[in-house]
Amino acid sequence: MSERSETVSVEQSRPGERLDTYLRSIFQAVSRGAIRRLIEEGHIKVNGRVVKPTHSPRAGEEITVHWPEARPAEARPEQMPLEILFEDKDLLVLNKAPGIVVHPAAGNQEHTLVNALLHHCKGELSGIGGVARPGIVHRRDKDTSGCLVVAKNDATHQALAEQFAARSLEKIYLAIVCGEMARASGEIRAAIARHPTHRKRMAVNEDDGREARTTYRVIERLTSATLVEAVLHTGRTHQIRVHFQHLGFPIAGDDVYARRQTARLKELTGYAAPRQLLHAHKLKFTHPRTGRKLALEAPWPADFQEALRALRKS
């Protein structure tokens, strides 16, 4: 990412809002933590002054944001197989394999998707995500397979992030859930927040949670399980996993939200799910540079097909 500066004019005072939170709502491709670090390092100033991240924006203030040149990526390029569904000079869309960690973190410094992307793209990835996540525009759990879009430059990254924030993309998933669903289709509207005691989990929380909406339809009823298609209308962490657990039909193989139900499924059918059976099947969005509508589809993974063979009613 090359060095550049931007200016934001505050039109309305926000007495109850922090500066880092306010800027996160404007620069949606950048994490709040990254913005906070830029403020603390003096790269973001208000009326020419260094302030704290807790500063509340006031009407008439001019916020100058200096984007420093990205440091070289800390992850090392690795030659790894990638299933590419679409690629041009601005972006690529992958069919992510299950079991692959997306970006380096403690305990996973090698063999991640970022390592493979650094090799494939020869370092030409957007820098907005920071040195740990070059090119990564949106989240994908380790055990979730399917469509994942990657930005090769900052302009593309920002434009894609805006589409995610505006919910103008279409995100369609396939899931095999525990239990036989009676309803043919439905909608789940349930706010999601961090679990109050288990900090690595999310939970439905209508008081403190953020709005979350998922619609679904049953594709096939299986033995003690159901194959569903789910459309993600918002993008909360673990949204589909939490919503289907809340509905009483958690995703088979989910060690966080469906351990007991997955064990019961094995008792009833003899089938042991190898991972959470969730697949990002289709992704539709507008190409930021060309304006072309792209519709990508990730083929069904082998373990999904194996699960269907094992659970189909005779």
- In the annotation, is 154 catalytic? no
Q: Concatenate the DSSP letters of all residues of the chain into one string.
A: ---EEEEEE--S--TTS-HHHHHHHHSTTS-HHHHHHHHHTTSEEETTEE--TTPPP-TT-EEEEEEPPPPPPSSPP------EEEE-SSEEEEEEPTT--SS-BTTB-SSSHHHHHHHHTTT---STT-TTSTTB-S---TT-EEEEEEESSHHHHHHHHHHHHHT-SEEEEEEEEES----SEEEEE--EEE-SS-TT-EEE-TTTPBP-EEEEEEEEEETTEEEEEEEESS--TTHHHHHHHHHT-PBTT-TTT-HHHHHHHHHHHS---SS--EEEEEEEEE-TTT--EEEEEPPPPHHHHHHHHHHS--
Q: Which of 141, 154, 254, 303 is catalytic?
A: 141
Residues in the chain: 314
The catalytic residue positions are: 141
